[in-house]
Amino acid sequence: MASKGRPNSKLFIILYALLIFLSALGITSYFYFGNKLNNDIEERNKYNEEYQSKKKELETKETELETAKTELASYDGLKEKAEQLRKDYYAKIKELEDAILAGKSDKKIAYLTFDDGPYYNTQKVFQILDKYNVKATFFTTNINGETCFDNRSAKCWPTYKQYFEKGHTLANHTYTHGIWRGLYNSADSFMTAVINQENLIKEQTGGYVTNIVRFPGGSVTAGKLKDPIIKKLRERGYGWVDWTCENGDGRDIQSTDQAWSILKSGLDEKIEVILLHDYNTVTTNMLPSLIEYLQKEGYILLPLFYESNMVNK
């Protein structure tokens, strides 16, 4: 029998074991929750850094947006200003035309006009015109479709935008050019071809609207339909133009000598509208010399415009 007041050894052992367990649990908890807390802190710092980075990126984008808005605001009215400059430019040419036709000026004007494009060879025409800083007029048709007739591996529709961007006059030569394929069946069939080409030009240039047309084959080809067609053209706001001379490149010519002979025999006006074709390599070969010859003869080379005396309205 144990003596009175003596600690119970079993209870002591239990308490000691419990103390060890709690200590171990505390240490384990410390490492577990401590590590978890550290991980949470690291993850929070990571997200905070990412947040600050995204916030800074957003602030940069907002600054760029404000800069872009300011720059865009500076362009307000630019299109209208450009259009006014174009009108002023053509008004000056019209004044010169009037003076020439009235015998009050000894100046001369030549309008180089190219029919039936766009073609792959049109790029060579562009290069020559660019070299001499000459603007011309291109009467376009979709007879050859999207691909270039003279290079079926190339696309020719992008040329429409080039006409516009280079400052040339982009005009309408009907969608089909179908002289013997229904174009001149009626005034309505002709106008359908005009409107279809008008829409193609708008589509390919982003909205450019032309108001000059040339009859395929010339207005004489329309025969008795000429007057009804002209009436419908006027109703749609179109003027039309033939030509005063040509180099014969729309026919079967074989050399620049032939082309020069034909052209010089018809070059006798103070204001000339010269018919050329941008598919014909004979014309491409003679074009530099033609430009130099015309300039030497005193001609100013210009693009056609609706208000011109050479455009019938």
Q: How confident is the model at residue 37 (pLDDT cuts 50, 70, 90)?
A: low
DSSP 230: H
- pLDDT of 115 strictly over 70: yes
**Which residues contact residue 212 at a Cβ distance below 8 angstroms, ignoring those fewer than 6 apart?**
137, 139, 169, 171, 172, 238, 239, 240, 241, 304, 305, 306, 311
Averaged pLDDT of the chain: 89
Taking residues 186-196, what's their average pLDDT? 98
Cβ count within 10 A of residue 267: 18
Looking up tokens 């600050």 gives 52
- pLDDT of 94 strictly over 70: yes
Q: What is the pLDDT of residue 311?
A: 98
Domain residue extents for the chain: 137-242, 243-313
Rounded CA separation 175/141 (Å): 5
Q: How confident is the model at residue 1 (pLDDT cuts 50, 70, 90)?
A: very low
Rounded CA separation 139/168 (Å): 11
Q: How confident is the model at residue 61 (pLDDT cuts 50, 70, 90)?
A: confident
Q: In 3D, which of 118, 178, 172, 116 has the Cα closest to residue 148? A: 118
Q: What is the pLDDT of residues 216-266, one digit of tens each?
A: 999 999 999 999 999 999 999 999 999 999 999 999 898 999 999 999 999
Q: Which of 3-17, 87-101, 268-282 has the lowest mean pLDDT?
A: 3-17
CATH 3.30.360.10 for domain 137-242 = no
Are 211 and 283 in contact by the 8 Å Cβ rule? The answer is no
- pLDDT of 86 strictly over 80: yes
Taking residues 156-175, what's their average pLDDT? 97
Taking residues 186-201, what's their average pLDDT? 98
Taking residues 34-54, what's their average pLDDT? 69
Q: Which of 69-78, 87-96, 156-165, 269-278 has the lowest mean pLDDT?
A: 69-78
Q: What is the pLDDT of residue 33?
A: 59
Backbone angles phi, psi at 143, to 5 degrees: -55, -30
Q: What is the pLDDT of residue 210?
A: 96
Q: In 3D, which of 200, 198, 197 has the Cα closest to residue 209? A: 198
Tokens linked to 210: 């032309």
Q: In 3D, which of 146, 203, 198 has the Cα closest to residue 173? A: 198
More confident residue, 218 or 31: 218
Identity of the residue numbered 210: T
Helix boundaries (H) for the chain:
9-74, 78-101, 122-132, 159-165, 187-205, 226-235, 256-266, 281-296
- pLDDT of 193 strictly over 90: yes
- pLDDT of 2 strictly over 50: no
Q: What is the pLDDT of residues 96-108, one digit of tens each?
A: 999 999 999 999 9
- pLDDT of 8 strictly over 70: no
Rounded CA separation 91/239 (Å): 17
